[in-house]
Amino acid sequence: MTRDLDNAFRVRPLVLDGALGTVLEGRGVNTTGKSWTAKGLVSNADLIYRVHRDYLWEGADIVTANTFRTNPRALKGTGLDAEALTKKAVRIARKARREKNPLIRVAGSIAPVEDCFSPDLVPPSDAGLIEEHRIMARWLDEAGVDIILIETMNSLREALCALEAAKAESEKYVWVSLVPKDGDSMLDGTPLDYAIAQLKEGGAHLVSLNCAPVSVMNDALPLFAKAAKRAGVWFGCYPNASEKNVDGSWNLLASTNEQIVDCTLKWMEAGAVMVGGCCGTTPDTISEVRAKRDIFGVERWELEERGAPNPLDQDLPF
């Protein structure tokens, strides 16, 4: 496998797309239930294609196929064919890529088999988890993704099981993204620096944080960047647009595009090579992230021309 992403990262950070469910809901699609956006592959496939296309036209370098909830457990009892929908989702993303730019990368999402924010629901059997994730990784590999994106992981145990499964089934890039509880730990309490070291040892090509508020992402940045550089692994982030209210409830659209862009810029300045958006973000968000990334890329190039150190090269053994 060529290391084209390593080469791309050395030039400038890449922009991941934003939320799919948020945009589908905003355009009238019913996403209730455990299968969430997977139902749209049956009822609204053309709209899913148009959302992918919108993200690509607004500047995303990576489009994520709608496979977050096409795993067999999520679709059990729905009458939907998990394998067929997984591969259909990748075909839709690949079509959007083909019509925009063949250099766009297609990521296939692998989510927790249960709820993203409830570590207590993670099944107890490692062998069972590995087998479930191997099925998804195999389907994604067969469908032709460029990246297997293991994302929104709330426990290190499941993240490592999914990583082992993906590495066993595919030679594609495998990225792992965690949900932080605060600036120091995952939702299951695992210290972020320990998680990064374990994921690097397991063969992750990139580690990131996703689906947490801007405030948490900013708090986590110093530790996460330092730990990733120490481990010698690429890193990134894609925050959601939520913030916690004083009464403990969540405001799912609390953060503005400006705040999200400011967060991703801070991560890029610290060495992140992938930035994007999660729940609550839209193509407009990604357009602004891309614009800031392009300015940042020019500034990096100018620094290199003057012989100044490149932040992406510092402490990285690549």
> What domain count does the chain have?
1
pLDDT of residue 96: 95
The whole-angstrom separation of Cα 3 and Cα 110 is 22
Residue 89 has pLDDT above 50, yes or no: yes
| Token pair belonging to 229 | 């550089």
- pTM of structure: 0.92
Q: Is residue 203 part of a domain?
A: yes
The tally of CA atoms less than 13 A away on the side-chain side of residue 82 is 22
Q: 306: pLDDT confidence band, cut at 50, 70 and 90? A: very low
Residue 6 has pLDDT above 50, yes or no: yes
Beta bridge partners of 173: 147
Q: Is residue 252 part of a domain?
A: yes
Q: Is residue 317 part of a domain?
A: no
Q: Is residue 315 part of a domain?
A: no
Average pLDDT of the chain to the nearest whole number: 91
DSSP codes joined into one string, 15-54: EB---SHHHHHHTT----STTGGGGHHHH-HHHHHHHHHH
Q: Is residue 310 part of a domain?
A: no
Q: Is residue 312 part of a domain?
A: no
pLDDT tens sequence across 10-29: 989 999 999 999 999 999 98
pLDDT of residue 254: 76
Residue 303 has pLDDT above 80, yes or no: no
Structural domain range at position 216: 4-305
**Strands annotated E in the chain:** 14-15, 62-65, 105-110, 147-153, 173-178, 206-210, 234-238, 243-244, 250-251, 274-275
Q: What distance separates the 2 farthest-apart alpha carbons in the chain?
A: 61
Q: Is residue 30 part of a domain?
A: yes
Residue 3 has pLDDT above 70, yes or no: no
The whole-angstrom separation of Cα 266 and Cα 259 is 11
pLDDT of residue 299: 67
Give the domain CATH number at 25: 3.20.20.330
Q: Is residue 103 part of a domain?
A: yes
255-261 average pLDDT score: 95
**Residue 94 φ then ψ, to 5°:** -65, -35
pLDDT tens sequence across 225-250: 999 999 999 999 999 998 877 676 66
